[in-house]
Structure 1
Amino acid sequence: MKRSINTDIAFTHIITRKRQTLVAALGVTLGVGIFLFMNSLTSGFSSFSTDEMFKNSAHIKIYKDDELSQPLMPFPDSRHVAVIVNPQITTLSKKIINPEQLLSRIKKQPYVVNAIAQVGFDAFYNRGKAQLRGDGNGVNILEYDAMFKTGKYIVAGSLNGVQGNLNGIIIGSGIAEKLNLGINDNITVTSSYNVVKVMKIAGIFTTGNSITDNAKSYMNITTAQQFIKEGPSYVSNIFINVPDPNESEKYAVMLQQLTPYKVEDWKTTNADVLASGKTRDILMSAISLSILVVAAFGIYNILSSTIAQKINDIAILKATGFAGKDVVRIFLSEALIMGFIGTLMGLVVGGVLIAIMSRIYMGGPVGYFPIRFEPGLFAKSFGLGLFITLCAGYFPARKAARVDPVEIFRK
């Protein structure tokens, strides 16, 4: 029964002070709306950045790492210092020994979605006196497309022009533009091993990443092996995709047990990019949370002023038998009502902003603005909005509960 009376009193305060209630609710609306919008924006950009990485980067990569020259006088005892004179990289070849067997073992693992071999080399693209430096990639183009969805970035020609064609090549749009080349044109490709081949352009792709579009090309894996004067068993990298890229570190540890070569997950490869993204996420979250906290102070101030104005009413309530916890419930109910209204309005405002931004077309490979509805963020914003308002209402309510009715009546 008392609980019902407490709620009635809270609603009476809310209704009789409509303007202050609206101001407090609008403050929470602004805080929750901006919090939801900025966190959705951050999540969208993070997903977009990750998708950009996976255009050319597998979840896990296996390769032969560089080796440094060993000490001239190695000492097993840590009390002695090993002597190294002019340490240098001593790796003579990046070749993976018996790659077919290793690739077969990898594909048999239940957690492997895709696994392909690749031969990479430094390439120079020439047309007349014009020359560009880039990266040549020898792959099975259909397997590569299954892993990286390369086909959707093709703007001219097709992938089939390279499959089984030792003279075909697919180049980035930046290369085609700078050398003024088109489909079926010839391009002279020179490797760092001084192997020169005249190849026919079978396709042109654009990913929106200028570094990739201005340097990368794809060709038959046998052709790439010829460019570096290696036999048909030569493979420099093995790319692997797993079901969940966020668990790539765990899968990399499992794959390391299958091979002595370096197994590196995409998070290690892109550690600097991920660190920058994490810094951005923390910054955006801190700003949005600060706005929400500032909005909570509005509720705190309104409840404090209500308590100051209703001090005689509070004294009467306590004198008629209301306990301190009842007074706390009254003002906490007021805070929760204002917070609930403001939070719901904030979710609507944030949802409208997300809907507007998601319909803005950025053009190119980016497409529409990278922001999307995420139920988890809506739930997080709702819970956080109520929690902040509850904290903002608790301290004034606690102060009201300590009111001594005798001292108030004396005044």
Structure 2
Amino acid sequence: MKKNINIDIALTHIVTRRRQTLIAILGVTLGLSIYLFINSLVSGFTNFSREEMFKSSPHIKIYHDDEISIPLIFPKDSTEIVAIINPQITTLSKKIVDPEALLKRIKQEPYVVNAIEQVSFDLFYNRGQAQINGFGSGVDIFEYDAMFKTGKTLVAGRLEDLQNNLNAIIIGSGIAEKLNLAIDDNLTVTSSFGVVKRMKIVGIFTSGLTATDNSKSYVNISTAQQFVKKGSSFVNDIYINIPDPDKSDIYGARLRQLTTYTVEDWKTTNADALSSNRTRNALMNAISLSILIVAAFGIYNILSSTISQKINDIAILKAIGFSGSNVVWIFLIEAIFMGLVGIFIGLIAGGIFIAIMSNVYMGGHIGYFPIKFEGGLFASSSALGLFITICAGYFPAKKAADVDPVEIFRK
């Protein structure tokens, strides 16, 4: 019976103090909608950045790293010193020995989605007196496309024209623009090993990354081996994709057991960028959470004001048999009601903001604004909003429960 009375009393307070209740609800609505929008924005930009990163970078890379020369004579004890002057890089070749066998072994791992080999090299693009430095990737273009969806980045030409043509090249849109090149034009390419070839442009791509579009090109893997003056077995990179990029460090550790070459996951490669992203995300989350907490203080202040004004009524309730927990529930019900209504409206408002921004066209490779509906964020925002409003209601409710009716009546 008291439970129903608790609800009746709480609803009476809510109805009789409509203005204060409305302000508290609007505070929660504003706080939650901003919190939801900002976190959806952060999540959208994070996902967009990762998608852009994985357009040309694998989850895990295997390569032959440089090594520094070591002393030929080691000290016999701590009192003996062996010095080496001007240690040199001893790696004479970036070659991965027997790459086919290693690639076959890697593909047998159950967590490997794609694995391809690549020959990467530095080069110069020449047309007349104009020259641009860049880098080339010698690949099986169909395998590369299966991993990175390169075909979707083509703005001219076809991938098929590169596959079996040793004199074909696909260049970035920045290179084409700077050198005034188009499909079927010829381009002189000079590798850092002094090999010069006249190549036919069969494709132009735009990745959306200016540095990549201004420098990168794709050639047949056999052509790349000629550019670096190596045989048909030469490979200096193996790219690997896994189902969950976030577990690249775990799978990278497993791959290290298969080879003595350097195994590097994307988190290590992009450590600086990830650190900046975490800092930005933490800042944005702190701002949005602060707004939600400020909104909760509106509930706290309203309930505290209600308790101050209703102190005599609280004393009477306790005198006629209401326990402290009953009093706590009365004010918690008020807080939960205001919180739930504010959360419901806030989710609708936040969803409207997200829908509006997701239909804003930004142009270029970005396309539409990188924000979208995520059920997990809606659920977590609701849970957090309810938790904060309950906390905001509990402390003044606890204060009301501690009221001593005798002391109140004496006054």
TM interval, short-chain normalised: over 0.9
Whole-angstrom CA distance in 2 between matches of 1:400 and 1:239: 65
Q: 1:83, CA displacement in angstroms?
A: 2.9
Contact 1:106 1:112 in 2 (8 A): yes
Q: CA deviation at 1:91?
A: 1.1
Shift of 1:315: 0.9
CA distance in structure 2 between the aligned counterparts of 1:322 and 1:243, rounded to whole angstroms: 59
Q: Corresponding residue for 1:210?
A: 210
Which has the higher mean CA deviation after the structures are superposed, 359-368 or 379-388?
A: 359-368
- Describe how 1:279-290 pairs up with structure 2 within 5 A: 279-290=279-290
The within-5 A match list for 1:182-261 is 182-261=182-261
Which residue in the other structure is 1:310 paired with? 310
TM-superposed CA distance for 1:81, in Å, is 5.9
- Aligned-residue RMSD, C-alpha: 1.2
Q: Percent identity?
A: 69
State the SS of the aligned residue for 1:328. Answer: helix
Name the aligned partner's letter for residue 54 of structure 1: F
The 3-state SS of whatever aligns with 1:365 is coil
Task: Could you tell me which runs of 5 or more consecutive residues in structure 1 were left unpaired when the two chains were aligned.
Answer: none
1:83 to 1:73, Cα distance in 2 relative to 1, 3 A: farther
Cα displacement (A) at 1:246: 1.0
TM-score (norm 2): 0.98
Secondary structure at the aligned position of 1:162 is classed as helix
1:25 Cα deviation from its structure 2 partner: 0.6
3-state SS in 1 of match to 2:163: coil
CA deviation map 1:181-228 (0-9, x unaligned): 000000000001110000000000001100000000000000000011
* Partner SS, residue 318 of structure 1: helix
Aligned runs of 1:110-189 on 2, under 5 Å?
110-189=110-189
Cα distance change of structure 1 residues 386 and 55 upon mapping to structure 2, 3 Å threshold: same
Q: CA deviation at 1:84?
A: 3.4
Offset at 1:85? 1.7
Note if contact 1:193-1:227 (Cα within 8 Å) is conserved in structure 2.
yes
Judged with a 3 Å threshold, the aligned counterparts in structure 2 of structure 1 residues 36 and 405 are, in CA distance, closer, same or farther, namely same
Change (3 A) 1:80 1:112: farther
User: CA–CA distance in 2 between the matches of 1:258 and 1:109?
Assistant: 10
Quick check: 68-77 or 212-221, which moved more? 68-77
Which is worse superposed, 85-94 or 7-16? 85-94
Aligned partner of 1:95 in structure 2 is 95
Indicate how the Cα distance of structure 1 residues 319 and 216 shifts in structure 2: closer, same or farther if over 3 A, else same.
same
Matches within 5 A, 1:36-47: 36-47=36-47
Shift in Å at residue 79 of structure 1?
7.2
TM-score, with structure 1 as normaliser: 0.98
Q: CA deviation at 1:82?
A: 5.5
Name which of structure 1's ranges 64-73 and 361-370 shifts more when overlaid on structure 2.
64-73
- Please say if residues 74 and 83 of structure 1, whose CA atoms lie closer than 8 Å, have aligned partners that are also in contact: no
Q: State the number of aligned residues.
A: 411
**Contact residue 60 and residue 252 of structure 1 kept, 8 A:** yes
**What amino acid does structure 2 have at the position aligned with 1:156?**
A
* 4+ residue segments displaced more than 2 Å: 71-84
Pair 1:365 & 2:365 matched: yes
